[in-house]
Chain A
Amino acid sequence: MARLQDHDGNLLTDGVPLGIEQIPGGPLLVELPGDWQFEAAPGSDVSTLPGPRKGRRLSRAEAWHPRLALVVGLCLFAAFAIWRWGLSVLVAVAMWVTPESVVKVIDAGNMAVIDRTFADDSRTSAARQKEVQAIFARLREQAPPAPWGEYRLLFRDMPAIGPNAFAMPGGTVVVTDQLLERFDDPDVIAGVLGHELAHVSERHVLAQLYRAGTSYLLVTLIAGDPGPLLQDMLREGNLLLSLSYSRHHEAEADRLGVATATAAGYDGVALARFFEALEEDFGADGPSWLSTHPAHGDRIERIRDMAGSQ
């Protein structure tokens, strides 16, 4: 039982307190029947007062005490564990529940946007297209099946992109006229297409999308509001980490692509010639930690190493 009286000793309310609550560093609040709240002076002893203690365990955990050092250690470990394993698990779960129809819509939507903005119908002759499709068919037999939908190859004229090829998660691979004009050699084409097939079979596009989204969300949720300046620093750092992830994917696609092309009866190592030509045409690229792709020189070297080990 508790009684609340005013200065003159008049009874304001009495009864068992509905709740006693104190956030560390905050006021001690006692909720009383009749919508009364009593605020105890700092340091008051209310241990004999009956009534439920709201959030007592949490407040005790938060109190200043050497064991907070343990909490700090646990935080560091948990953050490392999430970064090292947790993200991969979350991404894997997200990919597992992603239905095929959604991925197909992504492919179709992206293609529609690309066609409207910077791609024109291909100028490559039908005969040449047939040749390249034949290479693609041979590679497809050697590559692991596409996780969502089927592999298909499209031709587009994309002057803004230059000699290049890219893949979408549903299995759509696009090759530019500029690439076919620049490279005649079927081995180089096979190397490039093998690389793109590897992006599809290893689900790189969605993995990057999900990983970037998840880590952004986690950083925002866990760091809360670190204040001006630091918020930006955290997010930029997160972006740099995701770039390293993308470089890792490119290297993996190089390795698998070369293997696929070789299995299909081509000289997969010709992929190195593609990067050499790019370097010749456009020069070396910027610092590697700022790039989504590994430096051309590194890639050429690594692909040639693969030839040595085969």
Chain B
Amino acid sequence: MQPSQTHQVQFTGNAKTFFGIWIVNILLSIVTLGVYSAWAKVRTKRYFAQNTVIDGRHFDYHATGGQIFAARVIMVLALIPFMIPFVNLVAIIVLLFAFPWLLNRSIAFNARMTSFSRVRFGFEGSYGRSFLVFMLFPLLSVFTLYLAYPFVARAVHRYTIGGHRYGTARFAFDSGVGPFYKAFLLAVGWAVLALVVGFVAIGGMQLFEEMAYASATGVNPDPAIMVRFGLLYVVFFAAILPAAFIYQAFLRNAVYENTTLEGGVRFRSTVTPVQLIWIAISSAVVAVLTLGLMLPWARVRLARYLAQNTQVLATGSLDEFVGTEAAKVTALGDAYTDIEGIDLGVAI
């Protein structure tokens, strides 16, 4: 057994270079009334993929703007039946049945269009499993008042990660349900605590009574009450937003920890909810103050943070691993990656 080597993921992009790409994307998108946005999306994805580097090798993204545009045209055309009364009922049923298949196609498209060191990723899904994890299980968890939701989250990750491959090497994910419950309960716990504390601090009950009284008697409510009503809105955001980041941070760490890639590659993620929240809020404030001009900086900043907190652990050198996969893929020929034909590229 060779000793395991840790490779730090690096993000080599910067706000300066991304700004040019971003602003030109926007100008061309506006001038073409949105048509160019398909090409803009590809350009942006390529920038972030090419600047994500492990051990001197970078990712890349290979979809063409034409593919994305065609997929969007199909999606817009497919929306038409949903606008016609009664026909839309049939359309919804068709969509429900097509949904697992569409999701599989979308994941597969994104995987196949992404490469690391010129070796492509791939995804093989199954309609049945996709139906279970994306539709049936989430529906069933409703009847448990979402208390069983962590089981659903684990099933989703087991399916999506397990279906991916790099070259010919398969990814796998296995984990106890514990980490999923930890992420879920911490997030829900925070939301409930913040809501209760905030509600009591503002005097929520009394507030609702006064509002009910005002609307029943037709008296204009006191402006102070409207301000407190606004505060209630703030409390709501202070409860829900951090909860989302808490969940994402713990989930990401747990998922990376328990993911393996055939050939002895493991992953590690060390993001923290506090830093994610700080980045999101401060980026939003800066973006608003600069009328959006600092948005590229915000995106680069998030990408850099995520890269800094991601490591790849390989037994032996990554060079050797990538070389082996490249050789295997070449031996199989391109037919292996192109065999499924046209891609819908639904960006879900």
Contacts and interface: CB of A to CB of B under 8 A. Distances in A.
Contact of A283 (B47, B86, B215): B215
Nearest to B215: A283
Contacts of A9: none
Interface string B28-59: 01110110010011011011001100000010
Interface string A253-284: 00000000000000000000000000000111
A233 B283 CA distance: 13
B26 A23 contact: no
Contact of A25 (B17, B33, B219, B292): B17
B281 A229 contact: yes
A105 B84 contact: yes
B91 interface: no
B50 A27 contact: yes
B88 to A, nearest CB: 9
A221 B34 contact: yes
Contacts of B18: 25
A43 interface: no
A47 to B, nearest CB: 20
Interface of A: 23-27, 37, 58, 61-65, 68, 71-72, 74-75, 78-79, 82, 86, 90, 102, 105-106, 108-110, 112-113, 217-218, 221-230, 233, 282-284
Contact of A108 (B40, B85, B218, B281): B85
Contact of A23 (B23, B50, B118, B283): B50
A233 B20 contact: no
B206 interface: no
User: Which of B14, B34, B58 counts the most chain A CB atoms within 10 A?
Assistant: B34
B18 to A, nearest CB: 7
A74 B31 CA distance: 10
B24 A62 contact: yes
A59 B50 CA distance: 15
A61 B284 contact: no
Contacts of A78: 27, 30-31
B284 A233 contact: yes
A222 B50 contact: no
Interface string B108-146: 000000000010000000000000000000000000000
Contacts of A108: 85
Contacts of A110: 85
A104 to B, nearest CB: 11
B37 A23 contact: no
Given A26-B50, A90-B33, A62 B21 contact: yes
